[in-house]
Structure 1
């Protein structure tokens, strides 16, 4: 199969490329704004790279002859420039799907998110039928929820195309740790600050509980969605849920509970002062996301996570402190 992957050089993208090229059965084309400089020994050396921005460029040539498209292209930053993220995340998705329709691509696998779900105030795991209005007013959540509606409309208008949407929990891997530190911490959070040996106490907002999944496990789910005759939405998360005690154990530090309102106000103040690249509305999203029921992925994709949430988060923390990275431009250390 010829599989085209947008956003191929990022966190989930690189993991998907590894999964799709593992057995040599697929001809994989990676679409990214910046072409990576890869060594011949790299696991991604067999990928054909196509420079392109889904928000602006002509996508028809790269989709010609494609058997499947995996849509991962996404801009998290700049949070102070919502028009720019909207152009890539919302307009880019619509433009890609229009090109898919024109070129007659039979399969689309799109990355959604746990943040597309509506906020909850309980710990009962939700299945894929839960409402998707976005967990908070953060642009990330709004754009993920908007793309759910775009996919709904595309499915209704294009019944001949099989559409899969994956809704993972928070996705981590060691090689993406430096990128994630820059996205969420900016210049305020330096690598040394995440060295577990140097963390005296860990502040945890009240009510925080975290599901996560390793990028490699998401990559395997993407490959299964491409290859199996499935459609619809699939939740992806590791089995364990991280709360204050687990986070303290993971960091090897005592914890202190912080009122959620105080933590959000502090984040908002730092964001408005441009000291922190993410606003407090993202903390609200983190506190409001539901826990995910992954039964459908396990049964229809034959998917089980190989790494726990604690292992995935631990890789991110250790990788950010090193700092770790890879040779694709977004993941450079």
Structure 2
């Protein structure tokens, strides 16, 4: 099969490349802003450089999608959180460009990476199936954009009916893996905090009500591959068991949990973000304390999908990666020292403001 993947060098993209190359027999095209060196898993891909937020993205994608059996749309922006206009253009403009190009070329299938963040609040700590409202969490830009992207797909399917490109939607919980540790920390830690300090935290000040769905990137990749193999359509929840709570995180960190109400923590996160002391906006915290858990019955029955990592194993894997400064050679996941990050913050601006993390 000829499979085109946007965001193919990121967290999920790298895991998907491992899965698809292990299966063999596929022609893989990766669309990213900054192609990785042709080494390791990245050497088996035809890399194409393209910013999906560019005005010319649709025309470029039409050229790249020609003859594709499947398109997997993973590209998304987590930073810069202080430039919402760019994140919106990348998320919604990029999704529209992918959708328009896929329709124009008549690709065999579009697999869209959605998220638990697309779901509305109202069932925290309770499982929902794919019929739950996808209105999102209003205070989270990430959630709003995921919700709006799914609404765009809904409109497309209504408009084109039987002539629409078949669309599958993956709605995973929070995705982690060892190899993405450096990238995840770069997006979430201020440049002046070395990532190796995270596993050494003696205290974990966090609300005791935390209860979130977590999943390893390998299991997300397996779900995506099964969607392609079976030409699946519609939404699929993907999450591991058990749900992760505050004490699970504290145990994995070997830290003592201290109750800090989410409202108080939210004010601290918001203030420090507004002062540009750290790069994570309050919306991520609101989402963590609002999104429901995921009922994955549909993925189990229709895709015969089952996670191979428990949520606690996935959490331990990424924390081990943080301690070891694990990374890959792709631009989103490569390792950078605290000195490098500080130097770049001075020369190019903070990660929460510049367009290239």
Superposition TM-score, scaled by structure 1 size:
0.96
Map Cα deviations across residues 66-123 of structure 1 (whole Å, 9 max, x no partner). 1110000111111100111111111110011101111111200000000100012542
The match for 1:214 is 216
Corresponding residue of 1:177:
181
Q: Quote the offset at 1:25 in angstroms.
A: 2.1
Give the Cα–Cα distance (whole angstroms) in 1 for the partners of residues 193 and 151 of structure 2.
35
In 1, the alpha carbon distance for the partners of 2:301 and 2:190 equals 40
- Cα distance in 2 between the residues matched to 1:329 and 1:18: 17
Residues 24-45 of structure 1, C-alpha deviation per residue, up to 9 Å, x if partnerless?
1211111111110132xx1332
Say if 2:169 is the partner of 1:165.
Answer: yes
1:10 aligned to 2:14?
Answer: no
Equivalent position of 1:66 in the other structure? 68
Equivalent residue pairs, number: 329
* SS of residue in 2 equivalent to 1:207: coil
Q: Judge conservation of contact 1:213–1:307 (CA < 8 Å) in 2.
A: yes
What is aligned with 1:330? 332
Residue matched to 1:258: 260
TM-score by length of 2: 0.89
Query: CA 1:293/1:121 → structure 2, altered by over 3 Å: closer, same or farther?
Result: closer
- 1:51 aligns with 49
Q: Does 1:92 align with 2:90?
A: no
* Aligned counterparts of 1:272 and 1:43: Cα–Cα separation in 2: 39
Query: How far is the alpha carbon of 1:188 from its aligned partner?
Result: 5.0
SS of equivalent to 1:187 = coil
Write the distance in 1 (CA, Å) between the matches of 2:271 and 2:207.
16
What SS does the corresponding residue of 1:269 show, helix, strand or coil? helix
Alignment of 1:18-29 (within 5 A): 18-29=18-29
1:154 is aligned, of 153, 156, 161, to 156
Alignment of 1:182-331 (within 5 A): 182-195=186-199, 198-331=200-333
Query: What is the SS of the residue equivalent to 2:128?
Result: coil
- Distance in 2, matches of 1:221 and 1:106, equals 18
The 10-residue stretch of structure 1 (311-320 or 299-308) with the greater mean CA deviation from structure 2: 311-320
SS of match in other structure, 2:211: coil
1:22 is paired with a residue whose SS is: helix
CA contact (8 A) 2:208 2:259 kept: yes
- What is the DSSP-based 3-state SS (H/G/I as helix, E as strand, rest coil) of the residue aligned with 1:132? coil
**Corresponding residue of 2:353:** none
**SS at 1:30 equivalent:** strand
Aligned partner of residue 186 in structure 1, secondary structure:
coil
Q: Classify the secondary structure of the residue corresponding to 2:258.
A: strand
- Counterpart in 2 of 1:125? 127
Structure 2 residue matching 1:194: 3-state secondary structure? helix
Deviations 1:252-296 (A, max 9, x none): 121111011110000001100101111122101110010000010
Name stretches of at least 5 consecutive residues in structure 2 with no aligned partner.
Answer: 336-357
SS at 1:80's partner residue? coil
